């Protein structure tokens, strides 16, 4: 997130897809060590690499035995997880129609074989630079400036796509709405800046306790929402209890003062709503329980 788009290009992962082993190794040799280059000579190897760790850029041959590069590009562009990865076609197909097709199917660039080594490197750098810039803009548009947590817009985008997936795959999904207790008092007693430090501290503490595919968003003020994927309510409560304990063990220290604080939460699970009901229902349910937690003393979770 803090990485600026104008930073020099970092060593990045480039996946070379070519059904010829010799060609693949040749391109790898040209691009290393400036880039970390992995080679896939067939579809099984390709999808295995993708699943293991998605690359920053794909160099894609067009004429391959199992599938054309154009078809593979279309599959990638339809995939929510992979569509942002730039693709450069590297091919001996040099007809105007082929080049046009390459861009049509979502290619970022098109390099004709035989190519100049320096040109290929320059095009790879350019594609990675653009990807960095896009990533930076995207992160700015989906995260909260103060805490770095996701914003409301991203939350609904992500959760709605997870919701249909969860329903299709019969996986559970839980929502927790969290609110810091007596936050106004923290502001009044320690100042607004200290209040901001508490918000950052709270975000980081939660992040350390949830799993990487859970989604934490700041909905406004000192209210946060977490989507727990493929999880039971009991497991979610465990995670929130770990957050609670961490806040006791390592409270927020700012401006030389220690600020102890607690939070309340309401939880709801996908199993409680009818299929096809919008995610808003689940959030409303969790919100009602949060209200109940506040009414009945705070520093507690209601399920
Ligand atoms: P409760 O336990 O019932 O939740 O009480 P509370 O004091 O936490 O809640 P209340 O809604 O009364 O007050 C929330 C306060 O949060 C009021 C507002 O000034 C403050 N606030 C909202 N956004 C920010 C922010 O970005 N930074 C800081 N420092 N304060 C904020
Ligand atoms: Mg080939
Ligand atoms: Mg509050
Ligand atoms: Mg509030």
pLDDT attached to residue 250:
98
For residues 179-186, average pLDDT: 98
φ/ψ of 112, rounded to 5, equals -90, 135
How close is the Cα of 71 to the center of ligand 2, in Å? Answer: 13
Top mutation candidate among 184, 254, 300 for ligand 1, by most atoms within 8 Å of CB: 184
- The ligand that comes nearest to the alpha carbon of residue 221 is 1
For residues 177-204, average pLDDT: 98
* Known catalytic membership, residue 100: no
Q: Whose CA is nearest to atom 15 of ligand 1?
A: 184
Residue 3 has pLDDT above 70, yes or no: no
Q: How many helices (H) and strands (E) does the chain have?
A: 10, 12
Residue 2 has pLDDT above 60, yes or no: no
Residue 10 has pLDDT above 90, yes or no: no
d(CA 38, CA 172): 36
109 three-class SS: strand
ipTM: 0.96
92-140 per-position pLDDT tens digit: 999 999 999 999 999 999 999 999 999 999 999 999 999 999 989 999 9
Q: Among 222, 249, 271, 284, which one carries the catalytic annotation?
A: 222
Residue 181 CA: nearest ligand 1 atom is 2
How close is the Cα of 126 to the center of ligand 1, in Å? Answer: 45
Give the range with max mean pLDDT: 80-89, 169-178, 182-191: 182-191
DSSP 150: B
Instruction: Provide the whole-model pTM.
Output: 0.78
Residue 267 has pLDDT above 80, yes or no: yes
pLDDT attached to residue 8:
47
How close is the Cα of 24 to the center of ligand 2, in Å? Answer: 10
pLDDT band of 166, cuts 50, 70, 90: confident
Residue 264: strand pairing partners? 179
Q: Map out the domains of the chain with their CATH numbers.
A: 13-137 (3.40.50.2300), 152-302 (3.30.70.270)
For residues 178-207, average pLDDT: 98
Average pLDDT, the chain: 93
CA distances from 261 to 88, 171, 240, 289, 294 (A): 51, 34, 14, 20, 14
């Amino acid at each position: 997130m803090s990485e600026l788009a104008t930073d020099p290009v970092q060593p990045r992962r480039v996946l070379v897809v070519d059904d010829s082993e010799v060609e693949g190794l040749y391109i790898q040799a040209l691009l290393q060590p400036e880039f970390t280059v992995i080679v896939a000579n067939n579809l099984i190897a390709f999808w295995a690499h993708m699943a293991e760790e998605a690359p920053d850029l794909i160099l894609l041959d067009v004429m391959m035995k199992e599938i054309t590069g154009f078809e593979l590009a279309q599959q990638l562009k339809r995939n929510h997880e992979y569509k942002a990865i730039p693709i450069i076609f590297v091919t001996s197909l040099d007809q105007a129609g082929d080049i046009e097709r390459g861009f049509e199917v979502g290619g970022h660039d098109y390099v004709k074989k035989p190519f100049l080594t320096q040109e290929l490197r320059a095009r790879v750098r350019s594609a990675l630079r653009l990807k960095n810039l896009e990533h930076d803009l995207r992160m700015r548009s989906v995260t909260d400036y103060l805490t770095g947590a996701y914003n409301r817009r991203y939350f609904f985008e992500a959760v709605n796509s997870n919701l249909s997936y969860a329903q299709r795959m019969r996986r559970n999904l839980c929502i927790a709405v969290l609110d810091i207790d007596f936050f106004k008092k923290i502001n009044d007693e320690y100042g607004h800046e200290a209040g901001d430090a508490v918000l950052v501290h709270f975000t980081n503490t939660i992040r350390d306790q949830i799993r990487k595919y859970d989604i934490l968003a700041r909905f406004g003020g000192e209210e946060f929402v977490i989507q727990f994927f493929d999880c039971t309510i009991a497991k979610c409560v465990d995670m929130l209890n770990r957050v609670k304990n961490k806040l006791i063990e390592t409270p927020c220290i700012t401006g030389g003062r220690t600020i102890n604080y607690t939070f309340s939460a309401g939880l709801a699970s996908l199993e409680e709503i009818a299929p096809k009901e919008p995610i808003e229902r689940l959030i409303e349910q969790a919100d009602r329980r949060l209200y109940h937690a506040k009414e009945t003393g705070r520093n507690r979770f209601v399920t």
